[in-house]
DNA sequence: TATTGATCTTGACATTGTCTAGATACTGGG
DNA sequence: CCCAGTATCTAGACAATGTCAAGATCAATA
C-alpha cells in the first residue's frame, strides 16, 4: 500500500526522486540531467514524464521533500540540546547548518534556485512549515506573538539570516578562510555558531 | 588603446562580457547560454572560444569584474554614511545588499555557483580584495588586527554572515513574508538592516 | 474477454557546448 | 611593397540534453 510492488516497474515515482537526489549530490545542481536520472533509475529517458510534468516538476517535488528533511535535521539537534527557549533556537540554527552541509546541492535547490516552482502547493506548504517552526521558536523567547510584535519578528529575520548566511557561506567554502574556525573541533565550532545565532536576538526572555 | 578600434570586430572580448552580463540578468544564471551570448554580440557561436577557453572561462572573468563592482557598490554607500567605524561597517553591508538586489544573477554566480573557476588568479584576487576590505572595517572597530585577535575575526564572520544572509534571502524573495519590512520605505528598511549588522559585532570601540 | 487507461519505450526535434577545418584580416620582416 | 605568419572569426560536425508524439505493454474493470 502506498508503495505497491510491481506495476510495470513498481513505484517508479519514488525511485526517480531517490535517483534525482543522488544525481543532485553527485553532479551538483547546475549539471543536473533528467536523462541521467532516468538511466540511474534503470528506465528510459521518456519515463519520468509520466510521473512529473517535466524536469521542473521533479525538482519541485524534490525541494518539497527537502524541507521535510530540513525540519528533521533541526529536530535532531534540538533533541540533544537543553530545553530552554534560547538553546532550542540555537539548536535549530545548527540543524539548519547541518542540513546544508550534508545536502549542499539540495539546499541550493531549495533556497537559491529558480528551477523549482515556488507557487506549487506542495512546495510552498513544506517551506511554510519550516518558517512557522522558526517563528514559534522566537515566540518562545519573546513570549509574544511575533505576528503582533515587530521587535520579535525582527528577531525572526535576524535568526534566520544568521543561520542561512552561515549555512550558505559554509557550503560555498567561504568559511575555510577562517583558520581558527576550520581547525576547530565540531563541538567548539558549534559553540561559536550558537553564540552568533543568539547575538542576533535582542528580545530575550529576561 | 587598451581598447583598440577595429580588428576584425573591435574589442569582442569586452562586448562578450557585456553581452554575457545581459544574458545573465535577463535569463538568469541557470538558463545561461553561450550561444545566445554570441548571438547577442552579433557574432558566430564559435567566436567566444578565441577570447575565453570555454563558457566556464567567460563566467569566471565575469565573476571577477563582479567583485570589482561589488566593492564599488559598498563604497557608494560608505560615501553617504557617517565616517565613524561602525557606520562605515553598516554602510558596507548595505552596499553588499544593494549589489545583490541590483545584480541577483551575477551575485549568485559569484557566491553560489560552481561554474566559475575559483582557482583562477584573476577571480580569487578580486574576491580576496572584497574580503580584505571587510577585515579592515572590523579592524577599525576593534582597533586590533583581526588576524591576531580571534574575537575580532569572529566579528568578521558575523558581519559577513549577516550581510550575506540578508542579501541572499532578499534576492530569493524570502523576506517578502515580512510585511513590516516589505511595506517599509527604503530609509527605514536600511535602518533595520544596519541595526542587524551591528548587532553581530560585539567587539565595539567602547 | 475486450476495452480502457496507466505506464513505459522509441524515435524525432531543436538547442546546447565544444571541436575541427577553413576563411579572412591584420602584422611584421624581407 | 609583398608575403608569410598569426590572430580572429565562420561554418560544420558531434554528442548530450529536455520535450514531444506515436506506439507498445500491462493491469484493472466491466
Q: B40-97 pLDDT, tens per residue?
A: 999 999 999 999 999 999 999 999 999 999 999 999 999 999 999 999 999 999 999 9
Predicted pLDDT of residue A206: 45
CA pair distance A13, A48, nearest whole angstrom: 8
B146 and B122 in a common domain: yes
Predicted pLDDT of residue B202: 82
Domain CATH code at residue B13: 1.10.10
A65 and A36 in a common domain: no
CA distances from A179 to B61, B146, B162, B203 (A): 27, 12, 20, 19
Predicted pLDDT of residue B1: 30
CA of B53 to C1' of D1 (A): 37
A94 and A33 in a common domain: no
Pick out the nucleotide with least CA–C1' distance to B10.
D8
Spell out which residues of chain A touch residue B175, defining contact as CB-CB under 8 Å. 157
Q: Tell me whether residue B195 is in a domain.
A: yes
Q: Are B124 and A177 in contact (CB under 8 A)?
A: no
- Indicate yes or no: CB of B200 within 8 angstroms of CB of A202: no
Predicted pLDDT of residue B6: 44
Predicted pLDDT of residue B4: 37
Predicted pLDDT of residue A112: 98
Pick out the nucleotide with least CA–C1' distance to B51.
D8
B105 and B41 in a common domain: no
**Which range of residues forms the domain containing residue A20?**
7-51
pLDDT tens-digit map of A103-123: 999 999 999 999 999 999 999
CA pair distance A17, A58, nearest whole angstrom: 7
Predicted pLDDT of residue A4: 36
**Residue closest to D27 C1′ by Cα:** A7
Mean pLDDT, chain A, whole residue set: 93
Predicted pLDDT of residue B7: 54
B35 beta carbon < 7 A from strand C? yes
Spell out which residues of chain A touch residue B114, defining contact as CB-CB under 8 Å. 28, 30-31
A115 and A41 in a common domain: no
The model's pTM = 0.95
- Indicate yes or no: CB of A164 within 8 angstroms of CB of B165: yes
Residue in A157, A174, A188 to test binding to B, most B beta-carbons within 10 Å: A157
Place of cell 515556488: A118
Q: Tell me whether residue A79 is in a domain.
A: yes
Q: Are A34 and A58 in contact (CB under 8 A)?
A: yes
Spell out which residues of chain B touch residue A28, defining contact as CB-CB under 8 Å. 114
Nucleotides of C under 7 A from a protein CB: 6-12, 15-21, 24-27
B5 and B60 in a common domain: no
Predicted pLDDT of residue A5: 32
A162 and A118 in a common domain: yes
pLDDT tens-digit map of B127-166: 999 999 999 999 999 999 999 999 999 999 999 999 999 9
- A163 Cβ partners below 8 Å, 6+ apart? A92, A93, A96, A97, A197, B165
CA of B11 to C1' of D2 (A): 28
A177 and A77 in a common domain: yes
CA pair distance A96, A163, nearest whole angstrom: 7
CA pair distance B5, A43, nearest whole angstrom: 55
Q: Is B33 left (phi over 0), alpha (psi -120 to 50) or beta?
A: beta
Task: Please compute, for residue A114, the number of CA atoms within 13 A of its CA located in the half-sphere on the CB side.
Answer: 13
B44 and B136 in a common domain: no
Q: Are A96 and A163 in contact (CB under 8 A)?
A: yes
What value does the mean pLDDT take over residues B112-121? 97
pLDDT tens-digit map of A138-187: 999 999 999 999 999 999 999 999 999 999 999 999 999 999 999 999 99
Place of cell 549588522: B197
Q: A128-139: string of b/e by CB count within 10 Å (b at 16+)?
A: eebeeebbebbb
Backbone angles phi, psi at B65, to 5 degrees: -65, -25
pLDDT tens-digit map of B6-42: 456 678 999 999 999 999 999 999 999 999 999 999 9
| Element containing residue B189 per DSSP (H, E) | helix B186-199
A87 and A34 in a common domain: no
Predicted pLDDT of residue B97: 98
Q: Tell me whether residue A205 is in a domain.
A: no
Spell out which residues of chain A touch residue B131, defining contact as CB-CB under 8 Å. 177
A47 and A65 in a common domain: no
Predicted pLDDT of residue B37: 97
Predicted pLDDT of residue B3: 32
CA pair distance B14, B5, nearest whole angstrom: 12
pLDDT tens-digit map of B170-204: 999 999 999 999 999 999 999 999 999 999 888 76
- Domains identified in chain B, total number: 2
CA of A12 to C1' of D15 (A): 28
B127 and B115 in a common domain: yes
Amino acid at each position: 500500500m502506498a508503495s505497491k510492488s510491481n506495476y510495470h516497474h513498481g513505484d517508479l515515482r519514488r525511485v526517480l526522486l531517490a535517483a534525482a537526489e543522488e544525481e543532485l549530490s553527485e553532479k551538483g545542481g547546475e549539471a543536473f540531467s533528467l536523462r541521467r536520472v532516468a538511466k540511474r533509475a534503470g528506465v528510459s529517458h521518456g519515463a519520468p514524464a509520466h510521473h512529473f510534468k517535466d524536469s521542473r516538476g521533479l525538482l519541485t517535488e524534490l525541494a518539497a521533500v527537502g524541507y521535510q528533511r530540513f525540519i528533521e535535521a533541526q529536530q535532531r539537534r534540538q533533541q540533544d540540546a537543553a530545553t530552554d527557549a534560547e538553546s532550542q533556537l540555537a539548536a535549530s540554527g545548527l540543524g539548519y547548518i547541518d542540513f546544508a552541509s550534508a545536502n549542499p546541492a539540495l539546499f541550493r535547490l531549495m533556497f537559491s534556485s529558480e528551477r523549482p516552482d515556488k507557487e506549487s502547493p506542495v512546495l510552498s506548504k513544506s517551506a511554510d512549515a519550516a518558517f512557522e517552526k522558526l517563528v514559534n521558536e522566537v515566540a518562545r523567547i519573546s513570549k509574544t506573538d511575533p505576528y503582533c510584535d515587530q521587535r520579535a519578528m525582527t528577531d525572526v529575520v535576524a535568526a534566520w539570516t544568521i543561520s542561512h548566511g552561515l549555512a550558505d557561506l559554509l557550503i560555498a567554502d567561504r568559511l575555510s578562510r577562517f583558520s581558527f574556525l576550520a581547525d576547530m573541533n565540531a563541538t567548539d565550532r558549534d559553540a561559536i555558531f550558537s553564540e552568533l545565532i543568539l547575538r542576533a536576538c535582542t528580545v530575550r526572555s529576561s
